[in-house]
Amino acid sequence: MDCNFWCCSGRCYLGKMLVFYILFLLFHLHSGFAAICPRKCNCDLSRRVQCYRVGQMPKEIASTTKRLYISHSKIKQLQISDVSRLPALEEFVLTCSGTESVERNTFKALDDLRILELWKNKLRHVPVLLPATLEVLKLGDNLISVLNESDFEGLKKLRVLDIQNNLILALSSSTLSSLCSLQRLTLAGNNMESVSGGPLTLLNLKYLSMENNKLQSFPESFFTVLHMLLFLNLNGNLLTKTPPGLPKSLLSLTLERNQLKILRSEDMKQLTNLSELCMSENQLSSIDGAQFLSSLTRLELAGNKLRTIPVNLPATLQKIDCSNNLIEKIETQDFHDLQDLKHLFLDNNVVNTFEDGALQRCTVLSNLALEQNLLRSIPLSLPHTLARLDLKGNSIQKIQEQELKNLRQLQVLNLRNNKITALDHGLLKHLPRLRYLYLEGNPWNCTCDLFRTRRALAAQGTEVQGGQCSAPAESKGETWMSSKRILRLCIRDSLYSSEEGKAIQRKTNANHPSSLRVDMDDYYDYETD
Ligand SMILES: *[C@@H]1O[C@H](CO)[C@@H](O)[C@H](O)[C@H]1NC(C)=O
Ligand SMILES: *[C@@H]1O[C@H](CO)[C@@H](O)[C@H](O)[C@H]1NC(C)=O
Ligand SMILES: *[C@@H]1O[C@H](CO)[C@@H](O)[C@H](O)[C@H]1NC(C)=O
């Protein structure tokens, strides 16, 4: 047979046809694909289309598209005809596109639409007549000022509603009453001065934020039936009282940056599951009923007007922040039962008295902030678990052995801006794990005792900052941790005074004078600068 590689009489024809057919198919697939992906868009096999910087709604989007994302575009008006050709749409995201209005009923016919996001546009209203299939609706960063009674009607599957950073002035609970599946609602960053109506009947709501509005109060029963609510964020409002009737289910309540003056037992009583209570930056002068918060792990009270530590703090607490208050005295009973406490912030108060052993029973405390107070010495009997102790900006003059002798875990010690002149090298054996020591802003008297401390610090690998000498006059401005002058002065001193020095001296005398140099080089090994 005269067959070449490809062609063999009749079969040759078939082979040619096959090649042609495959080419035809490939070409068609390719051109067909190109036709359904519009310019400036990306289309992928999961029927997702992403468009960027388009001047209008692209016309050629495949009707089978399930997810459509458009951003940084110019689409002033969204019309029914823009999406009516896309009946399979499940997710529609149009953001940062200057959209001002949405034609009535635009989304109504999209029977599979689950996610609708229109954030960062210029909408003045919630789009009218949304499909009942919606599960997620995000309208943040628009210009919506009024929520209409009917806006969310029929959205029984909606789980997430985000209308943050709009211009909403008021909210009536009935506006949201259809949203029986809603789990997450954020109305943060609006201009709401009031909310009205009966209880919010969002029986599945877990997370609610009305942060950064102008709310002054809530109706008596507003929160009472939110039986699933876990997180409530009311930071940055004008509340003078804790909202009444908070649900028992709450895990986290944050009311920072309001105008609360007192916290009463009746506000707290039912919150037995609360783990986190954040009330920083209010005007709180007293807190009652903390003992009811039997699950509390974190208590934030910074920036208030407390003169004493709140009484009866629950034993479950792990972190307490009472910084920036007016506390003068820390007493033995203040932290008596807090055996889980790890972080305690008492900085920026006016503490001048810290009773001995006031933290003794906090047997896992690792972080204690006492900077910017009026302490004249380091508190006694601090827990041996401390890893970090900040005493910056107090009036400490002297550091005594009994204050440090327990702190074998201490890694960071901040003594900046006190009145310390000396630090005995013998103290350092009590701080074997010290890694950072801050010494700036103290009037160090740079005697050769400090030089011994320098050697001990270098030997245990502590990183030291600061240590400028105020005295004696000839060392003024030098830093005792690094000064070569002090090194020279004190080596001579130690050679002629310490046991070690005497040994070197004997050796030197016995042998050759130049052996002194060798020993000086050893000292240089401890240099840290
Ligand atoms: C809601 O606002 C519209 C304007 O968008 C207004 O005409 C109407 O009376 C209000 N109520 C309903 C149900 O739309
Ligand atoms: C409190 O927490 C417990 C344990 O997580 C939970 O079983 C209980 O339902 C919660 N109580 C309320 C009122 O949500
Ligand atoms: C510094 O210490 C030396 C030696 O202990 C002492 O004689 C001197 O008075 C101290 N100077 C100051 C300013 O405290």
Ligand closest to the CA atom of residue 246: 2
pLDDT over threshold 50, residue 8: no
Ligand closest to the CA atom of residue 230: 2
pLDDT at position 109 is 85
Q: Closest ligand 1 atom, CA of 148?
A: 1
pLDDT at position 237 is 98
pLDDT tens profile 137-188: 999 999 999 999 899 999 999 999 999 999 999 999 999 999 999 999 999 9
Ligand 3 centroid to residue 401 C-alpha, Å: 20
Q: In the beta sheet, which residues pair with residue 77?
A: 101
Whether the CB of 249 sits within 6 Å of ligand 2: yes
59: left (phi over 0), alpha (psi -120 to 50) or beta: alpha
User: Where residue 490 falls among pLDDT bands split at 50, 70, 90?
Assistant: confident
Ligand 2 centroid to residue 402 C-alpha, Å: 46
**C-beta atoms surrounding 423 within 10 Å:** 24
pLDDT at position 29 is 47
Whether the CB of 30 sits within 6 Å of ligand 2: no
Q: Closest ligand 1 atom, CA of 150?
A: 13
Q: Are strands 252-254 and 115-117 parallel, antiparallel or unpaired?
A: unpaired
Ligand closest to the CA atom of residue 125: 1
- Structural domains in the chain plus CATH codes: 391-529 (3.80.10.10)
pLDDT at position 303 is 98
The dihedral formed by the CA atoms of 486, 488, 494 and 495, expressed in degrees to the nearest 10: -170
Ligand 1 centroid to residue 138 C-alpha, Å: 20
- Tell the residue number behind the tokens 């910056």, with chain if given: 392
Mean pLDDT value of segment 225-245: 96
**Residue 313: both structure tokens together:** 């703090």
**C-beta atoms surrounding 432 within 10 Å:** 12
**End-to-end Cα spacing for the chain:** 92
Q: Whose CA is nearest to atom 13 of ligand 1?
A: 150
**C-beta atoms surrounding 73 within 10 Å:** 20
Whether the CB of 148 sits within 6 Å of ligand 1: yes
Mean pLDDT value of segment 472-496: 80
Ligand 1 centroid to residue 140 C-alpha, Å: 20
- Tell the residue number behind the tokens 């009773």, with chain if given: 355
Q: Closest ligand 3 atom, CA of 471?
A: 13
pLDDT over threshold 90, residue 329: yes
Ligand closest to the CA atom of residue 447: 3
Classify 18 as helix, strand or coil: helix
Distance separating alpha carbons of residues 255 and 267, to the nearest angstrom: 13
pLDDT tens profile 402-455: 999 889 999 999 999 999 999 999 999 999 999 999 999 999 999 888 888 998
pLDDT at position 496 is 53
- In single-letter form, the type of residue at position 191 comes to N
Name the percent of the chain lying above pLDDT 70. 86
Q: What DSSP letter does each residue of 324-365 carry, written as one string?
A: SS---EE-TTTTTT-TT--EEE--SS---EE-TTTTTT-TT-
Range from 222-226, 257-261, 300-304, 483-487 carrying the lowest mean pLDDT: 483-487
Mean pLDDT value of segment 221-236: 97
pLDDT over threshold 70, residue 216: yes
> Which of 419, 445, 446, 475 gets mutated to test ligand 3 (max ligand atoms within 8 A of its CB)?
445
pLDDT over threshold 50, residue 30: no
**H-type alpha helices, 199-335:** 265-268
Ligand 1 centroid to residue 148 C-alpha, Å: 6
**Residue 155: both structure tokens together:** 């959205």
Q: Whose CA is nearest to atom 10 of ligand 2?
A: 249
> Which of 447, 470, 476, 490 gets mutated to test ligand 3 (max ligand atoms within 8 A of its CB)?
447
Looking at residue 429, the DSSP 8-state letter turns out to be G
Range from 9-23, 99-113, 291-305 carrying the lowest mean pLDDT: 9-23
pLDDT at position 491 is 76
The dihedral formed by the CA atoms of 461, 462, 463 and 469, expressed in degrees to the nearest 10: -120
Distance separating alpha carbons of residues 395 and 380, to the nearest angstrom: 16
pLDDT over threshold 60, residue 228: yes
pLDDT over threshold 70, residue 7: no
Q: Angle, nearest 10°, between helix axes 499-510 and 484-497?
A: 80
